[in-house]
Amino acid sequence: MELTEEQLALQRAFASFFATEATPERVRAAEPLGFDGLLWSRVQELGVPSMGLAAGLVDLAVVAETAGRHLAPVPVVESLVATRLLGTADGTLATISLRPAGRLVPAGAVADAVVALDGEELVVVRSPPPRTAPANLGSAPVADRDLGAGERTVLVRGEEAHERFERALDEWRVLTAAALVGLAQGALDVGVAYVKERRQFGVPIGSFQAVQHRLGDAATAVDGGRLLAYEAARSAEPVLASMAYVFAAEAAQEAAAASLHVHGGYGFMLEYDIQLFFRRAKAWSLAAGDPRLEHQRIAALGFLPEDPPDPRRDEVRAFVAEHLTHEVVERVHATGTVHDWGFHRALAAKGWLQGEGRDPVVVDELTRAGAPMDGSGTSMLVARTLELVGTDAQRAEVVPRIHGGEILVCLGYSEPDSGSDVAAAKTRARRDGDEWVVSGQKMFTTLAHESAYVFLLTRTNTGVAKHRGLTMFLVPMDSPGIEVRAMGSLGGERTNVTFYNDVRVPDTARVGEVDGGWDVMAVALAFERQPAANGETRRLLERAVGWARENGTIDDPVARDRLARVAVDVEVGRLLGARLASRATQPALPIVEGSMAKLFTSEAFQRAASDLLDLLGAEGVLQHGEADAPVEGWIEHAHRHAAVMTIYAGASEIQRSIIAERGLGLPRSR
Ligand SMILES: Cc1cc2nc3c(=O)[nH]c(=O)nc-3n(C[C@H](O)[C@H](O)[C@H](O)COP(=O)(O)OP(=O)(O)OC[C@H]3O[C@@H](n4cnc5c(N)ncnc54)[C@H](O)[C@@H]3O)c2cc1C
């Protein structure tokens, strides 16, 4: 899913070309027509639009994205699409009429040829362009074109005309999505640069969290939009083209609006560049009509693309069919303990508590199926951490038992007074010869009542900065002095308070250096940030679609809109997760990628649960177990449960700060 070497070279070449040739001054100078003839000649010399005939859509998306990044006042996307539709490039500027009757044709003010679907005919109309455009939001060279005037050639008629035009529209959607992602990135860069410089209250405004978080959200949307645009370019699936276009349109508007806002009053002054982005973000999104109407098409196309064939998917599905029985599901629901020993051991027998069990396809299928994975989740992340920073003895004794499904390990990080500020832990570990004596209290020690060990964060030094006085231990849960007390939750899950009353642990239970616990935590926390909620969102979507199809609600455009919106989020979440998984094999931990995946998928799950519950209407409140509860009450349950996904494994605000500070390079706010 990454770009090839050739594509990266293409990206570098066009990025540097547009950076020098499509400067903000040139963009301004091209207004109000929105066309720079000199730049167009240079772009032609570089092979646009003729490269459209030979190159694949991904290469073209690279060009469109770089053009969008610099708001290049040349019709790169339209000319490429029209050239592909015509199958020839003769040096004249061709464009495509997106809407019927030649109304407000993009690049219509400057194009010599317009390709259009005119009734049952796909035609090309050659006539002199007006060279003037009506005043418009994006300063774009749009114009009405008379499809009956000039030299009109019919390319093809009937069904084939419709099919070819629809295919071209999909290409336009994909390339416009890429251009919008470029625009969004450009707007974000302008905003980020501004907030690093601008000072108020004696500090750069980029250190204010309200500013950081809005830009962090925009950055996440830009990355998600980019992944989706390239996925759509790669796959040529119509549903992905629609998704990419509608998501990129929103991302561009969000990034441009956020960057405009952080400029304060100056953003409204014409000499600042951000207004150039803000106007075009909306205008480009509207070229084919209300982008939100794509949701109706996404619904008509079945909401989600087919999963690419993968034998592992079939294997996981067969496994789920055998082991995730009705009894397991009901028991987990009734007890709130999101773990089942039978199911867990079956996972171990497949080897899925290690190695392949971390494969995104396997994880995706298991979470989609609603498998109880809390115990395997925490245990596997501890195993991975021990593999990296544990002792030989821990790797030899504990890790194989985790992989073998014999034991669980729970996480003892949070305390009554330290949650997000996890490094402020007070649970004390005091050295006593070869042993340590631990005393304190942990909150939310989920699965402590089923675990053989707790991965415990303790304070070993109070005389240094808080991050430098922590030590990690792997403490056996049967150690004398540990007490576990159950706590119920809004979502029905059971968690625990755990007390440590002078618990004696050998020094061999220590993980990492004395006072070096924060380094261990950094690894463990990075492993914990996962897009786990995405499978749950997908499951909700499938259930809600099934419900809507069964009772005819699916024909209601409002219902289709709600469902399609969730589908787009599911696809973006899947791609953010796949990116995280692909980076996980590289030496540097994918910190920002993990935060983006966790933030986006958990918030999308929360939005989906609430929105799909609305779809069910008044009966939606009926809970699992009530005979007439729609979707067996699972959406009601998800609505209660989803909120916590935005809290544990690092609350959304913490993820936004990580994205802003480590991803965008903004000054620290805490
Ligand atoms: C069901 C459940 C299971 C859990 N399981 C475990 C577990 O197994 N092991 C474990 O150790 N912990 C577990 N947790 C704890 C979880 O990790 C914490 O709840 C989480 O880190 C938030 O801490 P807190 O609850 O103390 O909230 P706080 O940190 O007090 O946060 C409250 C609010 O303030 C915001 N906030 C806090 N700091 C900042 C900041 N710097 N900037 C902006 N906003 C901020 C937060 O985003 C949040 O909205 C679990 C929690 C729940 C609810």
State the Cα–Cα distance between residues 580 and 66, nearest whole angstrom.
24
Residue 511 · residue 389 · CB < 8 Å: yes
Q: Which atom of ligand 1 is nearest to the CA of 457?
A: 11
pLDDT of res. 167: 97
pLDDT of res. 527: 84
pLDDT band at 242 (very low <50, low <70, confident <90, very high): very high
State the Cα–Cα distance between residues 566 and 295, nearest whole angstrom.
10
pLDDT of res. 529: 81
Residue nearest to atom 2 of ligand 1 (CA): 444
Q: Which atom of ligand 1 is nearest to the CA of 420?
A: 29
**CA–centroid distance for 351 within its chain:** 29
Over range 536-561, report the average pLDDT. Answer: 97
**φ/ψ (deg, to 5) at 659:** -65, -45
Residue nearest to atom 23 of ligand 1 (CA): 419
Whole-number Å distance, alpha carbon 206 to ligand 1 midpoint, is 24
**φ/ψ (deg, to 5) at 458:** -130, 160
Give alpha helix (H) positions in 555-590: 557-583
pLDDT of res. 670: 60
The fold for domain 409-517 equals: Butyryl-CoA Dehydrogenase, subunit A; domain 2 (2.40.110)
Residue 199 · residue 642 · CB < 8 Å: no
Q: Which of 373, 380, 648, 652 to mutate to test the pocket of ligand 1 (most atoms within 8 A of CB)?
A: 648
Q: How many CA atoms lie within 13 A of 471 on its CB side?
A: 23
What is the residue type of 73?
Answer: P
Q: pLDDT, tens digit, for every residue of 125-141?
A: 999 999 999 999 999 99
Q: pLDDT, tens digit, for every residue of 462-506?
A: 999 999 999 999 999 999 999 999 999 999 999 999 999 999 999
pLDDT of res. 158: 97
Q: Which atom of ligand 1 is nearest to the CA of 652?
A: 47
CATH class of segment(s) 168-300:
mainly alpha
pLDDT band at 1 (very low <50, low <70, confident <90, very high): low
Whole-number Å distance, alpha carbon 459 to ligand 1 midpoint, is 19
Residue 116 · residue 97 · CB < 8 Å: yes
Over range 156-172, report the average pLDDT. Answer: 97
The fold for domain 529-663 equals: Butyryl-CoA Dehydrogenase, subunit A; domain 3 (1.20.140)
Q: pLDDT, tens digit, for every residue of 397-415?
A: 999 999 999 999 999 999 9
Whole-number Å distance, alpha carbon 212 to ligand 1 midpoint, is 20
Hunting for tokens 């990454």 — which residue is that? Answer: 2
Q: Is the pLDDT of residue 586 over 80?
A: no
State the Cα–Cα distance between residues 25 and 517, nearest whole angstrom.
52
Whole-number Å distance, alpha carbon 279 to ligand 1 midpoint, is 39
Over range 242-250, report the average pLDDT. Answer: 98
Q: Which of 207, 209, 211, 414 to mutate to test the pocket of ligand 1 (most atoms within 8 A of CB)?
A: 414
Whole-number Å distance, alpha carbon 448 to ligand 1 midpoint, is 18
- Which range is least confidently modeled, 163-167, 188-192, 215-219, 533-537? 533-537
Q: In Å, what is the CA distance from 56 to each residue of 44, 87, 171, 472? A: 18, 14, 11, 51
Whole-number Å distance, alpha carbon 419 to ligand 1 midpoint, is 5
In three-state secondary structure terms, 286 is: coil
Number of helices (H), then strands (E), in the chain: 23, 14
Catalytic residue among 294, 365, 528, 536: 528
pLDDT of res. 359: 85
Residue nearest to atom 27 of ligand 1 (CA): 419
Which residues, judged by CB distance below 6 Å to any ligand atom, belong to the binding site of ligand 1?
209, 410-414, 419-420, 444-446, 489, 493, 495, 644, 647-648, 651, 653, 670
Q: Which of 385, 420, 489 to mutate to test the pocket of ligand 1 (most atoms within 8 A of CB)?
A: 420
**φ/ψ (deg, to 5) at 355:** 35, -105
pLDDT band at 100 (very low <50, low <70, confident <90, very high): confident
Strand partners, 441: 499
Whole-number Å distance, alpha carbon 651 to ligand 1 midpoint, is 6
Mean pLDDT of the chain: 96
Residue 218 · residue 195 · CB < 8 Å: no
Q: pLDDT, tens digit, for every residue of 199-220?
A: 999 999 999 999 999 999 999 9
What is the residue type of 358?
Answer: R
**Token pair belonging to 323:** 């082991």
Q: Which atom of ligand 1 is nearest to the CA of 644?
A: 53
Residue nearest to atom 38 of ligand 1 (CA): 420
**φ/ψ (deg, to 5) at 193:** -60, -40
Residue nearest to atom 50 of ligand 1 (CA): 444
Q: Is the pLDDT of residue 124 over 80?
A: yes
Q: Is the pLDDT of residue 587 over 80?
A: no
Domain spans in the chain, listed from the N-terminal domain onward = 168-300, 409-517, 529-663
Q: Which atom of ligand 1 is nearest to the CA of 411?
A: 9
Q: Which of 421, 444, 449 to mutate to test the pocket of ligand 1 (most atoms within 8 A of CB)?
A: 444
Is residue 593 flagged as an active site residue?
no
Neighbour count for residue 519 (Cβ, 10 Å): 15
Residue nearest to atom 31 of ligand 1 (CA): 420
**Token pair belonging to 501:** 């009353």
Q: Which atom of ligand 1 is nearest to the CA of 418?
A: 26
Write out the DSSP string of 173-217: HHHHHHHHHHHHHHHHHHHHHHHHH-EETTEEGGGSHHHHHHHHH
Whole-number Å distance, alpha carbon 523 to ligand 1 midpoint, is 18
Q: Which atom of ligand 1 is nearest to the CA of 421?
A: 29
Q: pLDDT, tens digit, for every residue of 276-324?
A: 999 999 999 999 999 999 999 999 999 999 988 899 999 999 999 999 9
pLDDT of res. 287: 96
Crossing angle (nearest 10°) for helices 57-69 and 209-235: 150
Q: How many CA atoms lie within 13 A of 595 on its CB side?
A: 24
Candidates 196, 218, 194; CA nearest to 207 is: 196
Q: pLDDT, tens digit, for every residue of 510-525?
A: 999 999 999 999 999 8
Residue nearest to atom 4 of ligand 1 (CA): 444
Q: pLDDT, tens digit, for every residue of 599-639?
A: 999 999 999 999 999 999 999 999 999 999 999 999 999 99
Q: Which residues contact 9 (CB under 8 A, 6 or more apart)?
A: none
Candidates 611, 635, 614; CA nearest to 623 is: 635
Q: Is the pLDDT of residue 226 over 90?
A: yes
- Which range is least confidently modeled, 153-162, 489-498, 532-541? 532-541
Percent of the chain at pLDDT exceeding 70: 99
Asked whether this chain's domains 168-300 and 529-663 adopt the same fold, the reply is yes
